[in-house]
Chains A and B, each alone.
Chain A
């Protein structure tokens, strides 16, 4: 159905697309920087890499003024309630970038105190690999997120209320850590191994 009688300076579009276009070009990041990824995040915001080229330069340190959380760095189990609280304080519509190996999976910190990926406990839209990622990678993730917003966003946020087609977070690890895990460090001083037999473990 063609629209008749419009002059050349009038454009017809969908409201969803208009809202997506406005939102994706004015992301306000909340820098949740806890480790060395935060330094790369600062570099991304600085003049050389310049995240302002993608309309995401307005970093705010209060979650109430932000709509993009960038989790940059490892999240300790003592920090996770803080992260969740900040996420809940951000107004809709909001998105999350998990920056770096530690935020995405725990990285090398496979210990009792470090959360093995923030996507277990808050929704994540884009993951950035790297340890830490280059600023270009973070810029690419912002571009990818813009693309995602343009393709899937709606003006009334239907895509958030209904949930997405894919899981919000990975299921718990198939091999859960057993409580009596045998690895202690260092294990046997005589043989310099970290694995212990049951017999050695039981006396003590």
Chain B
């Protein structure tokens, strides 16, 4: 199934103006608003054979030129029969950036959604166990957000000091 036929199928189902496409070298992207992303991914999985979620990643577009939304999340899908790759991209905004969880479509989304939540604070509705995966549980910030200082807010200095007489 080629990119063009996938696009045709999506516009049949959702209407041609409900999504947009973009291309960079061999990356083919479908940009979908957040409220329709689950339906699009469900259709791609069930009717177009995209059985593997190869990657789920996030970005913060704060102060990015011409960006209209703050957070971007993309899903890299692979059809393991034909080897076709497709990128579905969607956006979320403050406060409480929320997207539907795709855990029910691909089990592999579990840890990837947890990572995006940990780093950017994007909440995935319907995720069975949405908690931090890399940072410690008591960490409160979302460190990959662009407005978080690179050296942190003092978390790395916030430990008890063990001296010689105490140890």
Write the residues of chain A forming the contact surface with B, with a CB cutoff of 8 angstroms.
77-78, 80-81, 84, 87-88, 94, 110-116, 120-123, 160-164, 168-169, 172, 176-177, 179-185, 187-190, 200-201, 204
Contact = CB atoms under 8 A, between A and B. Distances in A.
Interface size class of B (residues with CB under 8 A): 20 to 34
Interface stretch (B18-26, B49-57, B109-117, B156-164): B156-164
Contacts, number: 100
Residue picked from A113, A172, A176, A189, most chain B C-beta under 10 Å: A113
B167 A122 contact: yes
B38 to A, nearest CB: 29
A169 B167 CA distance: 14
A3 B24 CA distance: 91
Closest 7 pairs (CB-CB, A-B): A112-B152, A181-B149, A78-B136, A177-B151, A168-B163, A123-B164, A77-B156
Interface string B117-156: 0000000000000000001100000010011111111111
B39 interface: no
A110 B151 contact: yes
A80 B147 contact: no
Contacts of B143: 112-113
Contact of A112 (B62, B156, B159, B160): B156
A84 B160 contact: yes
A105 B135 CA distance: 21
B156 A121 contact: no
A190 B66 CA distance: 11
Given A88-B162, A121-B159, A160-B165, A204 B147 contact: yes
Residue picked from A110, A177, A201, most chain B C-beta under 10 Å: A177
